[in-house]
Chain A
Amino acid sequence: MPTKIKLHAGLITAFLLLLSFGLSAQTTITGRVLNSVDNRPVEGATVQVRGSKIATLTASDGTFSLSTTQQKVKELVITIVGYEPLTVPVNGSSIGDVHLAITTTSLNDVVVTGYTSQRKKDITGAVTVVSVKDMKAIVSGTPEQMLQGQAAGVTIITSGAPGGPTNVFVRGVTSFGNTDPLYIVDGVPGGLHDLNSNDIESLQVLKDAGAAAIYGVRGSNGVIVITTKRGKAGKSTINYDGYYGTQRPLPGNPFHLLNSQELANALWQADITSGQVAANGYPSSQQYGNGATPVLPDYITPGGAHEGDASVNPDLYNTDYSKGNIYQITRANKQGTDWFHELFRPAPIQSHTIGLSGGSEKSTYYFSLGYFNQQGTLIETYLKRYTAKINTTFNINNHVRVGENAYVWYKNNPQISYFGENQVNYDYREQPIIPVYDIKGNFAGSNGPELGNSPNPVANQIRTKQSRGNEWQIFGNAWGEVSFLKNFVVKTSIGGTIDNNYYWNYGYHTYENAENNGSNSLSEGGGYYSNWVWTNTLSYNNNFGKHSVKALIGTEAIDVYSRSVNGFRINYFNDNPLLQTLSNGDPKGQTNGSGVGAGSLSSYFGRVDYAYNDRYLLSATLRRDGASVFGTDNTYGYFPSVSGGWVISQENFMNAVTWVNFLKLRASWGKLGSYANTPPKNQFTLYQASPGSSYYDIAGTSNSTLLGFYAQQYGSPTTGWEEDRITNIGLDAVVVNNKLDVSVEYFQKSIKGLLFQDVAGATSGAFPSSTGGSQLPTVNIGDVKNNGVDFSATYHEVVNSNFKFNVGLVLTTYKSQVVGIPGAGGYFEAGNTRIGNFVRNKVGQAIGAFYGYDVIGYFKDAADVTKSPVQQDAAPGRFKYADINKDGKIDDQDRTFFGNPNPKFTYGLNIDATYKNFDATIIFYGSYGNDVINYTRYWLDMWASFQGNKSKNLLYDSWTPSNLNPKAPILENASTFSTNTVPNSFYKESGSFFKCRSLIFGYTMPASPLKNLGIDKFRLFAQASNLFQITKYTGLDPEIGGSSAAYGIDFGQYPNNQRTYTVGVNLSF
């Protein structure tokens, strides 16, 4: 293809310049590679001189031409994913036609693990290899969302928000703090969140100590090892991968809300039930009058006004604070505003990546540019990200190689807050009679009588339009390796991260809400985070007869430093955010601040892998970590592991069992650690000054304060290493003509000395939960136990060369139990809401268990109240709580554990098939057996909670003397212990679900007509996300994350089950 090479030459000049090393006498070997099923050419296979790095790729007609300076080439090794590797002897300058057998097993795939790589069949630890292709069938900008259901042993709870939060639990919840696994990208600790998924070549999850102990103290939450794409020697290719789609908000009335008249009717019913009526016996309302039935007004501000009233004269209108009192005139929306679909709207999503790769025997390169833009269905949320990746390798000679991996990204990602009262919470609270805009087109809101206190969520979001947050990062490393004395390789890598962020948020002086901001304001700030990582390894590889030995020793040093700064001013003279800077704001009420952090880690590690006759495998690792976060007594920790494997299928007695192609039993034991939940200065007792917490106006000036200090934290110099002891037993099998791969493993993980913030009484002067009080240090006193089973199975069938399919099933189970918690109480609470904490993490209970009063029904009548245990505010139609301790009265002692947010199992099912040029993929995901707290019911199913909108349940199916099995308690205007003031099991619902995450149909153009255009591959596809979800949950979506100490509480969330339709292209030249 000389013309094409010429075409590309310009693009890759920069790289070629770097490769201009001198040439010497050359040997050229040619041949053609075909597949053994139908003799079609195999394109893109790597043809490599055995024992060297000299390689090339086959062209689209299967031919190759390999030039080498080596005098004598004995053998070529031909490899390509999907085929069995083939070793071909070389006699002369051509090997002629060779045939590759299609592989149905991935056992020979080389998998990158900790600091080394291994053939999959030699692995003795628990390693899940994720199919990057299936992962990419999920449309998302964040790779960890794509991982859901794709990796046995990994539980993922995520959100529909662009760039939204994700809980990643590798083998259950192992910490009350950060549960993120360690992400190693091309050998350097980094992140997955902002990687361009098109740059990912492979992704492995290291789950047990056998696999992860080489990462020592950072391995406790599991390790995810990501390798990005590299160029291959041979021809250069250009790839384009892109899609465009539309995301559809949930249809209908997903919160089952009332319309304007219905809400007024509910008010009447509540007032009548509660006896809150005027002299004429009817309820009285500024908005709805004082009659037998409520009458919707024409205007809600001024409250209850009608057309023609003097009070609605537009001349009175004012929403400008500088011109006097606010006087808003707002027409009632008598039909009712569909706030859900005012806030959630259809939104586009698109992704484009151009990749360029290639190389020669001297060097390879991979270069990509990516653009991702997902507009959120929740207005004014989006993720825009620009990425660039450059990976290069240079073979300076046969012994010395150098290279680099560099990744740069820049993004804008405004988000709403999650897991608390947020825009979605406001969205279902805002009353339907409130329109989005008033008579003059300004925002309308709750600023009239009886309109509740929710802010207008649409206004809130639209007002963020001019605010920005941007972040960019450079991540990567430069490395060099030298092979010497035949069996040794020494490698050094210096890498790291530089991350910068900057934001400015303009806040408006709102006028339309019941509770308004006191002023407009601008907050602006930025920060940076940097680390460097220096890793050095020396490895040894040798085979003596039937013995195979691999050994590795290494050192690693990591240093982290970060700083941030912020400022805030108010009282801008106009509300044009584009004109405002901090300098223009009012210095009265200004605030500013900065923060700083630092830490370091220094480590040694070693690893030995031994195999006898490919049958008995043994591996041991040891890591010694030193961390700056611990005091001098406990600076260093040791993390060993041993693992072994027995390849039973290699035994002679298995020869007769022909249906078993491969069978391996493996076991491991070892220790991992964590220091992630330890603040960097944990060992020190520290004092601090804070304007809000310790400054004081001792001179009585009313507008200034004097410097004050307070003890910000108590130190713990003795805090040391958390040890996670993990035992793992696994079985890998390939059966039935290599068609079915099965892997099953059982693990037990017990965490000793879990790093956990100490718990003490207030008399100690410190509080674990405080914002401004003295913090307690992290100490080693929690214990958690996890066990579970990971299962995966893949069935591949090649029916004929036209039709192939794969079916994959992944199943993850875990049980996370709290074994020890500091403090004699043996518990701590989390999951705070307006009515208290829903979660108690207590010894003997599952992590995150829901705790409160157990509702056993409703009081039927006065007689029922009398004969039941004594309960505060007991009355007909209110909740009857279980008398757990049977003492005849309901009190604190009767609170109990009534729910568990942890699923019994999660599962993923992938089916993909190709028929001729067509391909199809369908991906299902489900979670079974988890409970969810539907806290939206506090707002919607209980009248007295707040004067926001309410649910259909409350108006039409709440308790009445003739409706004894209702969906909501009595509709009354009273807030009581027996209804809405304490956490109870009324809010619990099943969180099980099953959904079709993705369905893709693709069509690849036949190769021949495209050839003339220089196109190697052209595939079109159409994709649909979340076509259906089966669940009994009554809220938006039962998939609800949170902190690792409290998750599964639905405040109103950004749903992750919205349909998305996309079309896309994969193109390569």
Chain B
Amino acid sequence: MKRTNLKIYIPILIASVALLYACNRSFLQKDPIGSYTPSTVATKAGVTGLLIGAYSLLDGQGGAGGSWDAAASNWVWGGVCSDDAHKGSDPGDQPDIVALMTWSESSTNSYNEAKWQTCYDGVQRSNEVLRVMRLATDIDPVDTVEFSAEARFLRGHYMFELKKIFNNIPIIDESVTYTLDNWRVENTSDAWPFIEADFQYAFANLPGTQSEVGRANKYAAEAYLAKAFMFEHKYGDALPLLNDLINNGTNAAGVKYKLVDKFNDNFNAATKNNSETVFAVQNSVNDGSTAANANAGDVLNFSYDPSAPVSCCGFYQPSFSLANAFKTDPVTGYPLPDTYNDVDLKNDQGLKSSDPFTPDNAIALDPRLDWTVGRRGIPFLDWGVNPGFVFVRNQASGGPYSPVKNAPYKSQVGILTDKSSWTAGYTALNVNLIRFADVLLWAAEAEVEVGSLDNAETYVNMVRNRAANPAGFVPGSPAHYFIKPYAAGYFTAQGQDVSRKLVRFERRLELAMEGQRFFDLVRYGTADTELAAYVSHEVGSGYTLMAGATFKKGQSEYFAIPQAEIDASTVAGKPTLTQNPGY
């Protein structure tokens, strides 16, 4: 090529190639590599995965919230906001819980926001199953019913969580999506009928036995439906369901419901998914998720002894009142619902671990105490004798007690706990959402309200008899455990009011530190009086962090709807969501 030509040809060549390339539209069409599009998941396998994804939010982890701020156990709302527990830790650690614990939270409380978001994330993941299922072509109708029933069960669960915490909530079914821009839904309609309908459908369509133990079966749905009726005070509707569960119910593996012999087997990762499990959050460790599936919601709620492998973070400390509640009558072995709080159970508040201390080993106690409340001088699972002061993070501002029900055994470390994250408190312990004792005690409650006090007594005694099994006492405990079932006819003799009190008190003892108590108090309508007494007792015992806290009747039963959600719901200057009364 001659040089004169070079200077013509090269420019023309460059220009034409460049223009051709730039005109090539496909150059600008990049497929979304590394992710799945809707059409990819609109298959049976894809919908199966979406359903698992909807289950996976049961633990409160992996959605919008953090982990402890949206915990499945509801330890903050159900526990710390009730008379079960103090916040624990240093006073300034997780300050938003202080506001909740004293029923003075603002509408910007981060815990409320996390719980709200996580539950609606769960609702939408359930809806996603329903939506994508309808796009798939390889799903037969039976599967469709099964997918629908499980998805609606899960949606019912998430909506129930929202309902009991926030009460006035928008109802979000599968027609609501971001894409359709129809998500600004009012919160003025009562969500109970919607929740009931989901559980009704699940109850009608789910099998009794599932291939996997973590799936909802028809009895889990029935129990949830009964639970909804209990919250609505529809005892007459609840009772037949509860009777059916007691007589015919099985867990998802097909095992007939029965209280396990040892109380603590409900709080041990090695004995989970047993005959008492109605529905539980399945937690797993060492599964490649860096402990995200390992009950991350309760990760802060352990003792604080740094020489023990579980050493974080000293939250969720049982209250003085809760420990006191486990005192029993030294003659009858019955609880003391009227006098338990007169004098605090002997404890080591104000004492260091190096100071001498012996627990009161003469006083009669319900054996469930030491499976619920960690206290000095008593063996703490298999970790050895609880040393008191050094086991709590800040005794002066949290009290002397530690939580037990969510703690792993020492022998399980590394096997049923996960060591891959920043603290050792990640466990495979499930969170019991409903266990059979719960069902029995609802039945007892319903019987008190509508039926026979004798039946109520029978159910309560089933729970008490199990607690009284000496094989189930804390091994090596020096405490004097003394518990008896009620003598036959005792309830009838005492009358309905006393029976009601005894059933409720039994429920408090049996389900303490399981995130239920606050909702029960609200359900009973006695939260204001009971919590007022509680505050004055705890402050008197030295828990000054609660000084001045007041449960405001008509307001504090439900929590503040997150301000950010109200703001986001605004249309034409007017929020779609209405704040709860008093906030």
Q: Which residues of A contact B (CB under 8 A)?
A: 271, 274-276, 278-279, 283-286, 303-304, 321, 325-328, 397, 399-400, 446-450, 453, 480, 482-484, 488, 490, 492, 513-519, 521, 534, 536, 538, 555-557, 559, 568, 570-571, 588-592, 595-604, 626-628, 635, 680-681, 684-714, 759-767, 769-770, 772-774, 776, 823-827, 829, 834-836, 872-873, 891-892, 942, 944-947, 973-977, 980-982
Contacts and interface: CB of A to CB of B under 8 A. Distances in A.
Interface in B36-64: 36-38, 40-41, 46, 49-56, 58, 61-64
B177 interface: yes
Contact size class for B? 35 or more
B124 A774 contact: yes
Interface in B1-57: 3, 6-8, 10-11, 14-15, 18-19, 21-22, 24-25, 27-30, 32-38, 40-41, 46, 49-56
Contact of A761 (B215, B396, B568): B568
B306 interface: yes
Contacts of A892: 106-108, 563
Given A492-B14, A536-B15, A709-B53, A824 B544 contact: no
B179 interface: yes
Contacts of A513: 306
Contacts of A759: 568
Contacts, number: 438
B28 A602 contact: yes
A602 B54 CA distance: 41
Contact of B293 (A602, A626, A697, A769): A697
Among A521, A600, A709, the most chain B Cβ lie within 10 Å of the Cβ of A709
B11 A628 contact: no
Contacts of A977: 99, 104
Contact of A490 (B10, B116, B308, B573): B10
B390 interface: yes
Contact of B414 (A450, A571, A688): A571
Given A596-B33, A773-B62, A824-B570, 4 more contacts: A484-B11, A557-B27, A973-B397, A974-B397
A962 B33 CA distance: 68
A716 to B, nearest CB: 9
Nearest to B575: A824
B34 to A, nearest CB: 4
Contacts of B273: 700
A286 B121 CA distance: 46
Nearest to A686: B35
Interface string B167-192: 00010100011110001110000000
A702 B416 contact: yes
B538 interface: no
Nearest to A624: B22
A698 B287 CA distance: 13
B248 interface: no
Nearest to A632: B29
Contacts of B351: 284
A711 B177 CA distance: 12
B121 A482 contact: no
Interface string B103-127: 0101110100000111011011101
B289 interface: yes
A891 B106 CA distance: 7
Nearest to A693: B62
A83 B104 CA distance: 74
B574 to A, nearest CB: 9
Interface of B: 3, 6-8, 10-11, 14-15, 18-19, 21-22, 24-25, 27-30, 32-38, 40-41, 46, 49-56, 58, 61-64, 90-96, 98-99, 104, 106-108, 110, 116-118, 120-121, 123-125, 127-128, 170, 172, 176-179, 183-185, 212-215, 269, 272-273, 282-293, 304, 306-309, 311-313, 350-354, 389-390, 393-394, 396-397, 414, 416-424, 426, 428, 430, 542, 544-545, 548, 563-565, 567-571, 573, 575, 577
Contacts of A712: 35
B422 A517 contact: yes
A687 B183 contact: no
A483 B565 CA distance: 63
B123 to A, nearest CB: 8
Nearest to B94: A834
10 closest A-B pairs by CB: A765-B124, A824-B570, A692-B292, A825-B567, A708-B52, A981-B95, A693-B62, A519-B419, A518-B419, A447-B306
Contacts of A274: 396, 544
Contacts of B288: 589-592, 691, 695, 705
5 contacts: A589-B287, A589-B419, A600-B27, A705-B293, A834-B92
Nearest to B6: A400
Contact of A484 (B8, B92, B93, B416): B8
B289 A692 contact: yes
Classify the secondary structure of A's interface with B.
loop
B307 A688 contact: no
Nearest to A696: B56
Given A555-B18, A687-B37, A827-B567, A776 B178 contact: yes
Among B8, B64, B96, the most chain A Cβ lie within 10 Å of the Cβ of B64
A680 B35 CA distance: 12
A764 B177 contact: yes
A935 to B, nearest CB: 13
Given A691-B289, A696-B56, A696-B282, A772 B63 contact: yes
A1056 to B, nearest CB: 29
Contacts of A555: 18-19, 21-22
Contacts of A769: 64
B52 A681 contact: no
Contacts of B40: 687
A835 B306 CA distance: 26
B135 to A, nearest CB: 12
Nearest to A712: B35
A706 B52 contact: yes
Contacts of A773: 62-64, 117-118, 121
B407 to A, nearest CB: 15
Contacts of B118: 773
A521 B424 CA distance: 13
B107 to A, nearest CB: 6
Nearest to B18: A536
Given A555-B19, A825-B567, A760 B183 contact: yes
Contacts of A536: 14-15, 18
Nearest to A765: B124
Contacts of A699: 212-214, 282
A555 to B, nearest CB: 4
Among A490, A680, A763, A772, the most chain B Cβ lie within 10 Å of the Cβ of A763
Contacts of B125: 710-711, 765
B66 to A, nearest CB: 9
Contact of A538 (B3, B11, B63): B11
A628 B52 contact: no
Given A692-B289, A696-B282, A760 B178 contact: yes
B90 A534 contact: no
Given A694-B52, A696-B56, A980 B110 contact: no
A494 to B, nearest CB: 11
Nearest to A979: B92
Given A836-B108, A975-B95, A286 B15 contact: no
Among B283, B352, B577, the most chain A Cβ lie within 10 Å of the Cβ of B352
Contacts of A702: 269, 272, 283-285, 416, 428
Contacts of B311: 514-516
Contact of B178 (A278, A492, A568, A714): A714
A735 B351 CA distance: 82
B290 A490 contact: no
Nearest to B567: A825
A761 B185 CA distance: 10
Contacts of A516: 306, 311, 423-424
Nearest to B572: A824
Nearest to B213: A700
